[in-house]
Amino acid sequence: MNLRQMQYLCEIAKRELNISAVAAALHTNQPGISKQVKLLETELGIEIFVRSRNRLSGITPHGRKIIEMAQGITNEVANMKAVSRDVVQKDSGSLVIAVTHTQARYVLPEVIKRFTARYPKVSITMRHADPEKITEMLLSGAADLGVTTNDPPALRELAVLPVREFKRVVVVPRGHKLLRSRRLTLKELARHPIVTYEPAFTAREIVVRAFDKAKLEPKLVISSIDADVIKTCVEQGMGIAVLSEVTFDAGRDLNLAAIPAGHLFDPSITKIWLCRKHYLRRYAYDFIEMCNPRWSRSAVEHLMAERPTTPGVTSPRQNLHAMRKSLKNSKDPQTRQKPHRRGGAVPATYANPID
Average pLDDT estimate for 179-194: 95
pLDDT in tens, 94-146: 999 999 999 999 999 999 999 999 999 999 999 999 999 999 999 988 899 99
Q: What angle do CA 125, 130, 131 make, to 5 degrees?
A: 105
Q: Using an 8 Å Cβ cutoff, are 347 and 339 in contact?
A: yes
pLDDT in tens, 280-318: 999 999 999 999 999 999 999 999 888 665 444 434 444
pTM over 0.75: no
Pick from 8, 89, 79, 81: nearest CA to 49:
8
DSSP letters spanning 117-165: HH-TEEEEEEEE--HHHHHHHHHHTS-SEEEESSPPPS-TTEEEEEEEE
Q: Is the pLDDT of residue 261 over 50?
A: yes
**Under the phi-then-psi rule, with left for phi > 0, alpha for psi from -120 to 50, and beta for the rest, what region is 127?**
beta
DSSP letters spanning 4-50: HHHHHHHHHHHTTT-HHHHHHHHTS-HHHHHHHHHHHHHHHTS-SEE
- The domains located in the chain, with CATH, are 3-86 (1.10.10.10), 90-163+270-326 (3.40.190.10), 168-260 (3.40.190.10)
31-35, 97-101, 109-113, 213-217, range with the lowest pLDDT: 31-35
Q: From CA 349, how far away is CA 166, in angstroms rounded?
A: 7
Q: Is the pLDDT of residue 237 over 50?
A: yes
Cα–Cα separations (whole angstroms), residue 236 to 72, 229, 231, 256? 51, 11, 9, 10
User: To which H or E segment does residue 257 belong?
Assistant: strand 256-260
CA atoms within a 13 Å half-sphere pointing along the CA-CB vector of 252: 10
State how beta strands 168-173 and 240-244 pair: antiparallel
